[in-house]
A and B are shown apart, each in its own frame.
Chain A
Amino acid sequence: MGAAWIALALGLALCASAEQQQQHERISGSAGDVLEDDPVGRLKVFVYELPVKYNRKVLEKDPRCLTHMFATEIFVHEFLLGSAVRTLNPEEADWFYTPVYTTCDLTPNGLPLPFKSPRMMRSVIQYISNQWPYWNRTEGADHFFVVPHDFGACFHYQEEKAIERGILHLLQRATLVQTFGQRYHVCLKEGSIVVPPYCPPQKMQAHLIPPSIPRSIFVYFRGLFYDYGNDPEGGYYARGARAAVWENFKDNPLFDISTEHPITYYEDMQRAIFCLCPLGWAPWSPRLVEGVIFGCIPVIIADDIVLPFADAIPWEEIGVFVAEKDVPKLDTILTSIPPEVILKKQRLLATPAMKQAMLFPQPAQPGDAFHQILNGLARKLPHDRRIYLNPGEKALNWSSGPPGDLKPCKRNTLDRESRNWHQLLQLLRHWCRVLLF
């Protein structure tokens, strides 16, 4: 699979050299031409050895965590364990990584529950601050954490609750690697690295069609417009933007939009020019990654969103940004884009560096999202002298936060007393079943 991408890159390079026409263009963002930078040698990362209850046990309990869109945290851990930037000597490390899987407590439907995540995070930080002196040295300013959940380190799926909670107090000084990004929002810290959600690369690779198949769909979207289960009145889900798309364009032949998810979803994306990426309950979605991989220009309808690797990838030149209030005029906006602009965007999307930067392949390849995270971390070096605290100086208040967070994270999900109750209830249920049937 990696060979296929490299072969594709080589093939395109050969074609570009053979003809006058340029098939793809170099991507260069505000940080420069950095997508192809190699972070090895520019930084050193020390990975803490944590007890398995924070990572491996959690994963063993529910292996679905490896395939859902929050699997970033697990794969980043695996990548760093085997990477060349890893150092076993913490004295020479620039960054410290804590491999804790906070997004792995899943409902039967597969959605992660964030209720225990703050306690888990607190417990981990207590552990590393007791075992190693490096946390107390800077109170976490040279540590980074991967928090790929809906609203990052606010640890809630509902936006109002997440804003109320704010970012976990103990992570105030640390760098957060998260998928959520929205300007002027409590849950996006200054200096966070925004990454794309995890999309399985093999699954997308398996659905590639030859690029000569003509793109005949103008606008493509598959997903919910109304979330009747959680938002029965309407107007909350997606801030009304998805519903506006549906109401305005449901009978427009240019818009291939529906809630039906077909088997040929990936193939259809490759036959479309524009793919809508509106916000949902959170502003980010895997559609952005899928659109980039399949060469479909993303139409981003999410006010103030911060897109992944925004300093390395010039998203303004690649995607089309539409304000939520302009959704009723979406067809006018999209049809009045000049064809040269569309072709340029498609050329930028065809860049293999761009596609690589959105993926988390296993094993890691140069230029992929893992390396972009490391590049982002490397760009923040060297650390400011001021992050190093004097001994005895404290910057964090360990007892701040909602009282539910301050409870310790025990070994099992239930503590001993409730475990007894639980067992009693189970026994009772078992006997009822035996007696009744």
Chain B
Amino acid sequence: MKSGSAAAGGVLHPVLRRSLTNAASTPRKSSGSSSPERGGGGGVLIGPGPLIRLCLHAVACIASLVIGFRFSRETLLVLLIDVGIKFPYVEPGLGVRDGVRDGGGRLPEARTKSGRVHVGRHEILIRPWPHPDSAEIYRAHALLERVQVEQQSLYGPKERKTVIAITPTFARTFQAIHLLGVMHTLRAAPGPVIWIVVEAGGRSNETASILASSRLEFVHLGVKDAMPVAWEQRRRMETRLRIEGLSHVRREKLDGLILFTDDSNVHSLQLFDEIQKVKWIGALSVGLLETGSGATETASSMVAAASSAKPRLPVQGPACNETCHVVGWHVLRPSPVDGEDDSSSSFTDVAGGLTDVATHLEWSGFVINSRAVWDEAESENEEEEASSSTMEDEQQEEDAERASTRRKPEWINEWKEWISEDSGSPLRLAKDQGFIEALGNCGREVMLWWIRVEARADSRYPPRQVALCPTRGYHIYQLTRLPHRWSLTSPLEITVPAQRTPWPE
């Protein structure tokens, strides 16, 4: 535009013209303007050719302003009417070749050496049915699986011990979500998995039906007492359920790594690779996702928290020194009842303060080699039998090596000493805490998250549920046959947003 007006004036001061052309050329890749830098000749009259071009350009610009769309390229269209310009989307039937819509004419070829590629407008090729094909998707998934298997064999742990997952559970509204979550995690986990589900209140049909559909190797145990209502008692009941699972491992002599997968926890798949490094007892960092605290926060405090530097995830787990040995524990007492987070992140050292720390550490943050809970005497008998049958030296050396990995080290407590406490803790399994291995890059990576979320007291399910309304301070909880499938056959009367999920439900 500016060079056009300059041309209209005829001769211009060379400097002004140059600065104008410089200014005109700054918008990057202005495909409409026709090389205004050409107009800036060296301080002499512009020749007639470029002058006419500039005039035409000025006319085109003014015309575009009047008409409302860019005029310059369309002029080319008019001038070169013999070349058929194809628009990007061509109607079918116009020269379909190989199932692909293709067009004929192109803009005149720019000066290139011989080659297939030229500059100018090209057609956007779209096939007649541009949607995914299920056979191809199947093949792609087969390729993905093959690549992942290769990755596992190259970079994953060479031998995988069986993962023995112990899950305490009980039948309630949200049981299906939580249990199915754990089920899918374990199905996706590589290597063999044994799932021990210990249920409070006896073995219920709901849990049994979920487990039956899981296609995992599972063990369904039941403890007759129902899950209590108060928070502290719940924790103790869960511990009791876990100990029940551990006694099963001990009785059946299951070999592998014991992982405490609580049903509402969230696990990442990296966890299953990481725990294969455990020799005897490993400690993980557990992120604590609190739900109760969210309820007590007002909107303003939440906004304030969001605007502060970074939201901090409370993490419970081992504290390491430079040589990656466990020297203490980050302990937070999670209590979703009142939402107050007792952030007593005390660095208790190994020697003292055991009682306080041990009761508050989550079971899910520990991974135990199942041999640690076996009966010592029986396993020794087995080894003697095994060693007496082989006579060669090499085999004896191998046996000795294997025996050292199999035999429980001295720093591990006996079963009876460990479990005799009222509230057991995995920390007490080790006499000397220094032998506990810290996983996940010395506790710096969080690979599982603890959360306790349950349904509202007055959450209703049509048509079969019977629930008592809660009285203040106490949440009396009674359930009759709850459907484990979520189906809403009639429209809901009132939907109330869940502002808090009080504990317990």
Contacts and interface: CB of A to CB of B under 8 A. Distances in A.
- Is this pair of chains taken from one and the same complex? yes
Nearest to B127: A328
A421 B29 contact: no
Interface in A311-341: 324-325, 327-329, 331-332, 334-337, 339
Interface in A233-254: 233-236, 239-241, 243-244, 247-249, 251-254
A182 interface: yes
Contacts of A417: 15
A97 B292 CA distance: 68
Contact of A115 (B37, B110, B114, B130): B37
Contacts, number: 180
B212 interface: no
Interface stretch (A38-46, A47-55, A156-164, A368-376): A156-164
Interface string B18-43: 11001001101101000101101110
Contacts of B113: 184-186
B221 to A, nearest CB: 33
Nearest to A414: B19
Interface residues of A, number: 75
Nearest to B37: A404
Given A215-B148, A346-B147, A418 B15 contact: yes
A335 B139 contact: yes
B409 to A, nearest CB: 28
Contact of B16 (A215, A241, A421): A421
A244 B123 CA distance: 9
Interface in A401-415: 402-404, 407, 414
Interface string A147-166: 00000000001111101100
B97 to A, nearest CB: 10
A218 interface: yes
A213 to B, nearest CB: 7
Nearest to B157: A212
Contacts of B119: 159-160, 163
B111 interface: yes
Contact of B110 (A160, A324, A343): A160
B115 to A, nearest CB: 3
A19 to B, nearest CB: 9
A304 interface: yes
Contacts of A157: 28-29
B150 interface: yes
Interface string B133-172: 1001101101110111011111110000000000000000
A49 to B, nearest CB: 31
B147 A233 contact: no
Contacts of A234: 88, 124
B112 to A, nearest CB: 6
Given A214-B151, A247-B126, A304-B116, 8 more contacts: A15-B154, A161-B35, A184-B117, A185-B113, A212-B273, A243-B124, A248-B130, A254-B137
Interface of B: 15-16, 18-19, 22, 25-26, 28-29, 31, 35, 37-38, 40-42, 73, 88, 100, 102, 110-117, 119-127, 130-133, 136-137, 139-140, 142-144, 146-148, 150-156, 269-270, 273
7 contacts: A163-B111, A215-B144, A239-B117, A248-B126, A252-B132, A335-B136, A339-B142
